[in-house]
Amino acid sequence: MHPVIDVQGAVKQYGVGDAAIFALDGVDLQINQGEYVAIMGPSGSGKSTLMNIMGALDNLTAGKYFLDGLEIDTLDENALALVRGRKIGFIFQSFNLIARTTALANVELPLAYQGIKGKERRSRAMAALKVVGLEDRINHEPTELSGGQQQRVAVARALCTRPSLLLADEPTGALDSKSTHDLLDLFDQINAAGRTVVVITHEDDVAARAKRVVRMRDGKIISDTVNKSVSK
Amino acid sequence: MSFFEIIRFAIRGLNSNKLRTTLTTMGIAIGVSSVIILLAFGNGSSKAVQAGIEKLGTNTITIQSNRGGFGGGRASASRSASSKPLTVGDAVALSDPIKAPDIKQAAPVAGANTTCTFGTNSSTPGSFNGTWPAWFEASNTTVAKGTYFTNEDVTEGRRVAVIGNTIVTDLFTGVNPIGQVMRCGGIPFTIIGVTEKKGSNGFQDGDSLVVAPLTAVQRSLTGYNNLQSIVVQAKSAKVQDLAQTEINTIMDAQHKVKNVSNRDYRTLNQASLLATTSSSSSVLTVLLGMIAGISLLVGGIGITNIMLVTVIERTREIGIRKAIGAPKRAIMTQFLIEATILSLVGGFLGVIGGLIGSHFKIVGVQPIIIPSSVFLAFGVSVLIGLFFGGYPASRAASLRPIEALRYE
């Protein structure tokens, strides 16, 4: 049984020579099936870069990254699209829903790109929207939904493909405290169902809900602790 | 990802900015319809010129003297000492059914240059012909109102005249011209008929015409020596070449021509005139087609422009789509289809517009649609969509998701 995420000696370099900046400077990280991990750190610590690497959106300058045992850097464009579609569910700070498109159509989108058709697609999307508690809002467009609701649509979109990994980048950054609370409850629920959740955040109360907290600074992991108050 | 699904995405994309979609579609529609209309106009005008010439009679051969006319008497005299004018005798010889089996009839024409007046109105006919009744059929002229003059009018030398529509409007506005007496060069002519409207053949007004009995015109206006021409009608357009040979044989004998390269007469064949004008009007059609083609091209560039703007504007959306697993091909196809739909709908509307627009006369010319131009314009517009949409589509598809997502 290999880990869901296996980052080995990851280096990400921007610029060359004197201007070179190491966003990641030798990072090793393993995350296993069913874990709930918060990655914390100040701006410029490399946590977003790490998230992009884990999400197969960016590639490494040096080192290796295995997602579910697949070495991501060796994959071509089409294989990457498949990995993003099937293995990863993304949640972004700015929701990133498709404008002028209903909640249902937004959730169906990744399923559509996987070639899932008609009834099955609709029922899976409906099920995901039910999980996030928006079954009565399926025909609303993003502009007709509150921030919290939009983010829950995004969660539904990430969930409906049944990914190995749910990756959330500052998911509560644009939400009020009530919506934040609801969303984190949702994450707990998703994790309790056995899904691996990785949350990037700089908010302590968000990190407090995770079972494991990884802290980063200047492209390096400075601490990796089990959150005793959560995991019993 | 099914193809149908991508088409739905494309339509949704186009729907989200209706004004822009409409304007781009219009660009293509205008291009396509102008191709169709301008080509139809060119075609229509060339057909109109051809019809005008055909009205003059395609089986008509006109014989003119090389002696007088623009060259002047002296120049011709030096060319051929024995040159003779065209005579009524020539016309009679040409009418011989044994020597000239393919000639239906021949009519001598004496042309006068004169001004006709009625009351205070005056008009100078483009042609004032003294001739025989056979001329009417040979030159494909029919009388719409009143009657033709007869062979008896010719033998009696009666001063009667058949006039064209232009003369009617010049002289007889508000008056029934039949039975009126107009004066041409001071000589009174009684109007007995008005010809069918002929229109212009592109070179001269076919309705600025006075036709009177040969004898009357010769006696009062031109004198007996100088026939302007002899109009010969072949039995059909098919035997025109045979008729031409017969004319040459008879005329060479009549005029004692020794050297056929130095005849004192020449023949004008309507069919060859037709060939010349149709080739010159096809140049016009090609020219119009080129202008229209340019406007179609401009429409195509409009599509590229709009699609580029769309790709930039939707960079973030492309990033999202890629992040949730859209393959490169799906993005590429979506944008290509958007461009193709624009040009397809534009082309379709353009065809409709072109078909409707071709029903209206433009400067008196009825456009005649060239069917192949419809398919050509439509096909080209679709190809333009694929071609000009291709670059923006591949640009969209090659966006890296990480950069596209950062784009604001």
Shortest distance, CA A30 to any CA of chain B (angstroms): 22
Any domain includes A45: yes
pLDDT at res. B78: 43
Q: Do A77 and B317 touch (CB under 8 A)?
A: no
- Asked if B402 reaches chain A (Cβ–Cβ under 8 Å), the answer is yes
Paired residues of A70 in beta bridges: A67
Q: What are the φ/ψ torsions at residue A63 (nearest 5 degrees)? A: 100, 180
Q: What is the complex's ipTM, to 2 decimals?
A: 0.89
CB contact (8 A) between residue B321 and residue A117: no
Measured CA to CA, the distance from residue B302 to residue B22 in angstroms comes to 12
Q: Give the residue with greater pLDDT, B139 vs A197.
A: A197
For chain A, say whether B2 makes contact (Cβ under 8 Å): yes
Cα–Cα distance, B405 to B326 (Å, whole number): 14
pLDDT value for A77? 87
pLDDT category of residue B297 using cuts at 50, 70 and 90: confident
Structure confidence at residue B56 (pLDDT): 63
What is the domain extent for residue A90? 34-54+77-226
Chain B from 372 to 401: CB within 8 A of any A CB: 401
pLDDT digits (tens, 9 = 90+) for A97-117: 988 889 999 999 999 888 888
Query: If you average pLDDT over residues B123-141, what whole number do you get?
Result: 88
Min CA distance, B314 vs chain A (Å)? 10
Helix, strand, or coil (residue A156): helix
Enter the tokens of residue A44.
């410029």
Residue B156 has pLDDT above 70, yes or no: yes
A229/chain B closest Cα distance in angstroms = 34
Mean pLDDT of chain A: 90
**In terms of CA atoms, which chain B residue is nearest residue A97?**
B320
Mean pLDDT throughout B29-56? 82
pLDDT given at position A197: 94
Question: Where residue A122 falls among pLDDT bands split at 50, 70, 90?
Answer: very high
Mean pLDDT of B24-42: 87
Per-residue pLDDT band at A167 (split at 50, 70, 90) = very high
Task: Say if the Cβ atoms of A113 and B16 lie within 8 Å.
Answer: no
Residue A165 in domain: yes
| Residue B407, min C-alpha distance to chain A (Å) | 12
pLDDT per residue as tens digits for the range A66-86: 999 899 989 998 899 999 989
- Give the pLDDT band (50/70/90) at residue B70: very low
A26 vs B280: CA distance, rounded Å: 79
The pLDDT of B392-401, averaged and rounded, is: 86
Question: Is B188 touching A (CB cutoff 8 A)?
Answer: no
* Chain B stretch 314-343, residues whose beta carbon is closer than 8 A to a beta carbon of chain A: 316-317, 319-330
Give the number of domains in chain A: 1
CATH of the domain at A134: 3.40.50.300
A146 part of a folded domain: yes
Is residue A38 pLDDT above 90, yes or no?
A: yes
* Residue A20 maps to a domain: no
Residue A68's φ and ψ, nearest 5 degrees, are 55, 35
* Angle at CA of residue B343, ends B340 and B348, nearest 5°: 120
Task: Give the separation between CA B349 and CA B29, rounded to whole angstroms.
Answer: 6
How far is residue A212's CA from residue A39's CA, in Å, rounded to a whole number?
9
Tell me, what's the pLDDT at A39? Answer: 94
Q: State whether B327 and A52 contact (CB < 8 Å).
A: no
So what's the pLDDT on residue B80?
A: 47
The answer to whether residue A126 neighbours chain B at the CB level (below 8 Å) is no
Q: What is the mean pLDDT of residues B300-313?
A: 83
Asked if pLDDT for residue B309 goes beyond 90, the answer is no
Query: Which chain B residues contact residue A112 at CB under 8 A?
Result: 1, 5
Report d(CA B293, CA B300) in Å as an integer. Answer: 11
* Residue A85 domain flag: yes
Residues 6+ apart with CB under 8 A from B74: none
Q: Which residues contact A37 (CB under 8 A, 6 or more apart)?
A: A31, A197, A198, A199, A210, A211, A212, A213, A214
Confidence of residue B308 (pLDDT cuts 50, 70, 90): confident
pLDDT digits (tens, 9 = 90+) for B159-199: 999 999 899 988 988 889 999 999 998 899 999 999 988 77
Chain A residue numbers with beta carbons less than 8 Å from the beta carbon of B327 are 77-78, 81-82, 113
What pLDDT band is residue B212 in, cutting at 50, 70 and 90? very high
pLDDT at B206: 78
| Whole-number Å distance between alpha carbons of B71 and B80 | 13
User: Per residue in B318-333, pLDDT tens?
Assistant: 889 998 888 888 889 9
CA atoms within 13 A on the CB side of B245: 5
- Let me know: does B167 contact B128? Beta carbons within 8 Å: no
Q: Is B403 on the interface with A (CB under 8 A)?
A: no
CA A149-A153-A155 angle, to 5 degrees, is 110
Closest chain A C-alpha to B30 CA, distance in angstroms: 30
Q: B350 or B396: whose pLDDT is higher?
A: B350
Chain A residues in contact with B326 by the CB 8 A cut-off are 81, 85, 113
